[in-house]
A and B are shown apart, each in its own frame.
Chain A
Amino acid sequence: MSELLADQPGERRLFLGNEAIVRGALEAGVRLAATYPGTPASEIGDRLYVVSRQTDLYFEYSTNEKVALEVAAGAAASGWRALCSMKHVGLNVAADALMTLGYVGVKAGMVIVSADDPSLFSSQNEQDNRYYAKLAGLPMLEPASPQEAKDMTRAAFELSEELGLPVMLRTTTRINHTRGAVTLGPLPSAPGKAGRFQKDPFNLVMVPAVARKAHARLVEKYDRAREQAEASRFNTITGEGPWGIAASGVAAAYVQDALLELGLKDKVTFLKLGFTHPLPAKLVGEFLARVEKVLVVEELEPFLEEHIKAVAQESGLTLPIHGKGRELFSRLYEYDPALVRGVVARYFGVPDEPGKALAPAGIFGQPLPDRPPNLCPGCPHRAMYYAVKIALQELGVEGIFPTDIGCYTLGLLPPLSMADFLICMGSSITTACGIARATGRKVVAFIGDSTFFHAGLTGLANAVHNNHDVLLIILDNGTTAMTGHQPHPGVTLTPPDYPGRPIDIAGVVKALGVEQSRVVNPFKYKESLAATKEAIAARGVRVLISQAPCHLYVQRIKGKKSKARFQVVDACGDCRHCLDYFGCPAMYVKPDAGVSQMFIDHDLCAGCAFCVQFCECIRPVKGSAR
């Protein structure tokens, strides 16, 4: 049984922030949960999936975040507590639903987890999603630790029901991916009831006349939400002294350590904010009245800072309030304890002794070699990229490559260099249309299978309908690999007892009106090269579906590893073709070997047998079975 279902109230467990969120939802009796995977939120869905196979919780990997939010909204409108989780940019996809969901409201508690990614560890931007709470008029909680992540998730369901509004739980990577001690609470003992949808179209169907009233209702709820924030146990003032610090999220943890290490616990009044929208104006006013100057510590945008300054203005206070600025905090990237401690010390004029960090490059005397991430050995994406590179070369054409979001985005790096433009999920195919229209050049767009279902379908329909001239290559590796191998509508190889029904991608492409489409196996080089050349040479909308499963995923599901191994049999000289065009991580050169030759590391080789098809110097190792 999942550790998250342990029915031992009072026990402490070492939970990841994401696991703590799941536990909080389970303690709150969540009945339905939906997600689209995305780092740093992915483990929320993955743990919920496991729990759903062991309990009566309904969980789904939805096709995208908008779908997930709407499925959850439907359940919450029918009396089921519901949760949906996504990475920060996922909320952009779901924003259309989010903006009007507050008008409609919820009948049972609904929690929307938005996991922001300061420093862009695995994202295309570092937007601050707290503004969504403000934009949509929804209450928001911001945990500063895994324990708070659990407590706040649980509390968010109650709050949501009291207000009849969905509640946002806004985390950052450091909360999602930190393990900490979490004290278990009780799980609900009574089985969940069947949902019931109470018809009420003149409050639930957002046509203009209804929505006008609904907006007024939302504005009234804002005032009630603010009263809740005033009384919330997640907003506290501790310590006393003329210096004030206000903080939220993991930045609040950095502040606590800074106060400890600078010995300022008795000099600083600390406003720790966990219920950050609507901001508790009275509490903030009380805090401001007690101090002479204020430092606001929050990662990314000056969300609290601007609110706090507004409260000061309304209270007629003119004390200095600062957060972002020169010599202060940046709007960029995540903070760290010493950075926060340094700014606190500078702002209040106390000494700080930072640890004297060693400088590795300085000690070494030159920059250290980088270690960029790379597509794995045996990755089908690399094989397809290779075919496209060679096809273009043989045709004497230079291609432009709009790409999309997934492992294959790593094709950006040399030697593949197969990415020229990327904004967001699904943008490969649509931006390709604009680029091709404007330039008249050969445009080859790449999209993964999961991303295709997430945001590619409408773009492809548009390309067909508007007679664009693009080649779309769907890199179908049978899973959502980058985020941890979650299923999606196109998958056929699934974990045992996965209930999802597969949809054939080739059938979808055909049904969208694409007349020139083909499925190729990227590991059959001759075949994929011929098909690629033909597709590049043609005009109109062409689709190639490059179909071969993610090698890591197959290993995980089937527990089998290919035993075939390959070697370079002759000194291949200074050719370097494989390194310059293919770049498998199992390939290496020995600078001191005295011969110019490429080698294959048998421990890293996945046995995909692709390189052997394009290079005569590479041959199977005798006795290594396929």
Chain B
Amino acid sequence: MSTTENRKQKTENVRIYLTGVGGQGTLLASRLLGEAALAAGFEPLVSETHGMAQRGGIVVSTVVLGDLKSPIISPGEADVLLGFEALETFRALNFCNRRTLVIANTGVIPPYTVAVGQAQYPPVSRLVALMSEAVDSLLAFDAGVLAREAGSPLAVNMVLLGALAATDYLPLSRESLLEVIRTRTNPKFLDANLTAFQKGAEVAENPGGWLGAIP
């Protein structure tokens, strides 16, 4: 999984769907992917959710690279799903097909309906098991733990970017992502961000961590 030789060509189309809950840093992650792609000579398109949806609701963004002109991703057509929260990752499976690469944070942010006992949060182990049957390649792990170990609980986005960068699904070098993290994120958290990125990469580099049939 960790090889960097088989990188996709610049003209090859890659659609990345990011989903999470307000405050998790999905928009920054998609923006960094876009900036790295721009620096590498792509024509990236990054679509963001703004406004009403952000008050504790679901925040979705998409990154599209290649020859494509459409900024958004249709159901079933994501090449990569980067999920920041367990339930939201599962909910976004309709943007995936069997061959979609899914990188899922198993961390949980209970929706209000669950918090007050009106609904039940599905057991994460069940969500992960169902996802691993539904897609060929799934990397599911607690990115929050790694972010805290790296020194910033908010660095979940960096952990997930690190994991994505360590796969060969991204037509970008790991260094190009590290470069935008260095130049575009808060210097106060830079060390934690870089460590978090590295920890995410290490998880993805361990073949034993992958579920489903690894490509």
The interface of chain A, by Cβ under 8 A from chain B, is: 12-14, 16, 39-40, 42-43, 121-122, 144-145, 174, 177-181, 250, 253-254, 256-257, 260, 336-339, 354-360, 363-364, 368-376, 407, 410, 415, 482-483, 579, 583, 585, 587-589, 591
Mark interface residues in B21-47 (1 if CB within 8 Å of A CB, else 0). Answer: 100000000010011001000111111
Flag if B68 contacts A14 (CB, 8 Å).
Answer: no
Number of residues of chain B lying within 8 A (CB) of chain A? 60
21 cross-chain CB contacts under 8 A? A14-B34, A39-B50, A39-B51, A174-B71, A177-B47, A181-B38, A181-B44, A253-B70, A253-B71, A260-B68, A337-B77, A338-B74, A355-B74, A355-B77, A359-B93, A363-B130, A374-B56, A407-B55, A482-B52, A587-B115, A589-B115
CA distance A483 to B53 in the complex (A): 11
Chain A residues with Cβ below 8 Å from B148 are none
Flag if B96 contacts A358 (CB, 8 Å).
Answer: yes
Chain B residues with Cβ below 8 Å from A145 are 45, 69
Most buried by A among B49, B71, B91, B95: B71
Chain A residue nearest to B67 (CB atoms) is A260
**Other 11 A-B pairs with CB < 8 A, given A336-B73, A368-B122, A369-B113:** A121-B51, A121-B53, A179-B44, A181-B44, A254-B70, A354-B74, A358-B96, A360-B94, A371-B58, A588-B110, A591-B120
Flag if B76 contacts A354 (CB, 8 Å).
Answer: yes
CA distance A583 to B21 in the complex (A): 19
Flag if A373 contacts B52 (CB, 8 Å).
Answer: yes
Flag if B119 contacts A39 (CB, 8 Å).
Answer: no
Total inter-chain residue pairs, C-beta < 8 Å: 192
Query: From residue 87 to 112 of chain B, which have CB atoms closer than 8 A to chain A?
Result: 87-88, 90-98, 110-112
Chain A residues with Cβ below 8 Å from B21 are 371
Flag if A122 contacts B53 (CB, 8 Å).
Answer: yes
CA distance A376 to B48 in the complex (A): 21
B114 within 8 A of A: yes
B185 within 8 A of A: no
CA distance A336 to B120 in the complex (A): 32
Chain A residues with Cβ below 8 Å from B43 are 180-181
B207 within 8 A of A: no
Flag if B52 contacts A39 (CB, 8 Å).
Answer: yes
Flag if A583 contacts B112 (CB, 8 Å).
Answer: yes
Flag if A358 contacts B94 (CB, 8 Å).
Answer: yes
Chain A residues with Cβ below 8 Å from B91 are 360, 368
Flag if B51 contacts A338 (CB, 8 Å).
Answer: no
Chain B residue nearest to A258 (CB atoms) is B70
Flag if A357 contacts B94 (CB, 8 Å).
Answer: yes
Chain A residue nearest to B133 (CB atoms) is A363
Flag if B130 contacts A583 (CB, 8 Å).
Answer: no
Flag if A370 contacts B111 (CB, 8 Å).
Answer: yes
CA distance A174 to B38 in the complex (A): 19
CA distance A121 to B94 in the complex (A): 19
CA distance A177 to B113 in the complex (A): 29
Flag if B115 contacts A585 (CB, 8 Å).
Answer: yes
Known A-B contacts A14-B34, A174-B71; the reply to A376 vs B51 at CB < 8 A is no
B204 within 8 A of A: no
Rounded to whole Å, the gap between the CB of A357 and the closest CB of chain B is: 3
CA distance A482 to B96 in the complex (A): 32
Flag if A179 contacts B51 (CB, 8 Å).
Answer: no
Flag if A372 contacts B57 (CB, 8 Å).
Answer: yes
| List of 9 A-B pairs having minimum Cβ-Cβ separation, nearest first | A357-B76, A355-B76, A338-B74, A39-B51, A122-B51, A588-B115, A373-B57, A369-B119, A122-B52
Known A-B contacts A368-B91, A372-B113; the reply to A357 vs B55 at CB < 8 A is no
Rounded to whole Å, the gap between the CB of A109 and the closest CB of chain B is: 28
Chain A residues with Cβ below 8 Å from B44 are 14, 179-181
CA distance A455 to B195 in the complex (A): 51
Chain B residues with Cβ below 8 Å from A179 are 31, 34, 44-48
Chain A residues with Cβ below 8 Å from B90 are 360, 364, 368
B134 within 8 A of A: yes
Chain B residue nearest to A374 (CB atoms) is B56
CA distance A368 to B93 in the complex (A): 12
Most buried by A among B44, B74, B76, B127: B74
Rounded to whole Å, the gap between the CB of A178 and the closest CB of chain B is: 4
Rounded to whole Å, the gap between the CB of A259 and the closest CB of chain B is: 10
Flag if B117 contacts A121 (CB, 8 Å).
Answer: no
Flag if A356 contacts B68 (CB, 8 Å).
Answer: no
B9 within 8 A of A: no
Flag if A178 contacts B55 (CB, 8 Å).
Answer: no
Chain B residues with Cβ below 8 Å from A122 are 50-53
Rounded to whole Å, the gap between the CB of A117 and the closest CB of chain B is: 9
